[in-house]
Amino acid sequence: MRNEFRELTDPDPEVRLEALRALVTGAEKGDVAAKQVLREIVTGYPDFDPEIYSRALNFLAFFGDESLAEALLAALADEEYGCQRWAAAGCGVLRLQAAAPLLIDLLSHPDALTRESACEALGEIRDPTAVTPLAQVLDDPAEHVRAAAAYALAEVGDDEAMEHLWAALESPRRPVRAGYLSAALARPASKTFDRLIQATAHDDPEVRFWAARALGATGDERAEQLLTRLAVEDHATVRTGGHVSTAAKKALKTLRNIREHQRKARAGEQTA
């Protein structure tokens, strides 16, 4: 493993990458020495090329532990090194509560991918202090960042977080493509199911449209009768040109697919 360690700083980028691949392969197989070298990349990150560091963090689940917390926090705050996006993801993988303030700061980073990574990490950490900052990101100019913020709020899942998602869905300012809000509201289905049912009777057809899609994503058979009725009766048009009835039909297909997958999974468990 010492050879790989030396090669990680070789002038030739291909040599560096090959050494990293060997270490990752070893870590995936449980090699203790390989895991230790990968941890040394994280703790000594300024001594390594940013590409090596960022690629190593992509496999943090195989070698990471709490001993890396201080180094990850340092990289998270290191603007010059340029790997805040990957450090944020690493903090999420390890669920480092201490990273929350720095991650919240990154929600206003000029790079959209870094903002997205910060949202995702905050969702993993589930720190309630992040709810208001994440809600503000629901207005981010980048759709993938807005989606990451919505999913993070769903992961936090407290009443305040869910109210922000509902407010975004019901707002006249909602984006034309609000599927990520629908998907986020479907995630904690036990908390949102009844309100999603109510939302299918909302005056605004766009709310009905996305509520129907969310109900399908819950996989809850209690929604099937209502979705069947909407598919037949509600032909209101939304800004995308679609109809509530079409959304209900797609939701029914999704719901049935989820339930079939669950049925097969249960059958597999019984025969295992």
- Please state, in angstroms and rounded to a whole number, the distance separating the CA atoms of residues 15 and 13: 5
User: What sign for the dihedral angle of Cα 49, 54, 56, 57?
Assistant: positive
- Please state, in angstroms and rounded to a whole number, the distance separating the CA atoms of residues 195 and 223: 12
Q: Is the pTM of this model over 0.95?
A: no
Residue 257, token pair as written in the block: 């697919």
Please enumerate in sequence order all residues whose Cβ is within 8 A of that of 202, keeping only pairs 6 or more positions apart, or say none.
Answer: 170, 208, 211
- Please state, in angstroms and rounded to a whole number, the distance separating the CA atoms of residues 250 and 196: 16
CA angle 269, 188, 65 (to 5 degrees): 75
pLDDT at 3: 63
Question: What does the mean pLDDT of the chain come to?
Answer: 95
**Whether the predicted pLDDT of 1 surpasses 60:** no
- Please state, in angstroms and rounded to a whole number, the distance separating the CA atoms of residues 113 and 134: 15
The residue-averaged pLDDT of 105-133 equals: 98
User: What sign for the dihedral angle of Cα 96, 142, 216, 202?
Assistant: positive
- Residue ranges in 95-223 assigned as alpha helix (H): 100-106, 112-125, 131-137, 143-156, 159-170, 179-186, 189-199, 205-218
Q: How many Cβ atoms sit within 10 Å of the Cβ of residue 205?
A: 18
Query: 2 falls in which pLDDT band (50, 70, 90)?
Result: low
Q: What percent of the chain has pLDDT over 70?
A: 98
**pLDDT tens by residue, 60-100:** 999 999 999 999 999 999 999 999 999 999 999 999 999 99
pLDDT at 85: 98
**Whether the predicted pLDDT of 272 surpasses 80:** no
pLDDT at 267: 83
- Helix 159-170 vs helix 205-218: angle between axes, to the nearest 10 degrees? 130
- Please state, in angstroms and rounded to a whole number, the distance separating the CA atoms of residues 145 and 154: 14
The residue-averaged pLDDT of 29-38 equals: 95
Task: Calculate the CA 232 to chain-centre distance.
Answer: 34
- Please state, in angstroms and rounded to a whole number, the distance separating the CA atoms of residues 121 and 96: 9
**pLDDT tens by residue, 181-225:** 999 999 877 889 999 999 999 999 999 999 999 999 999 999 999
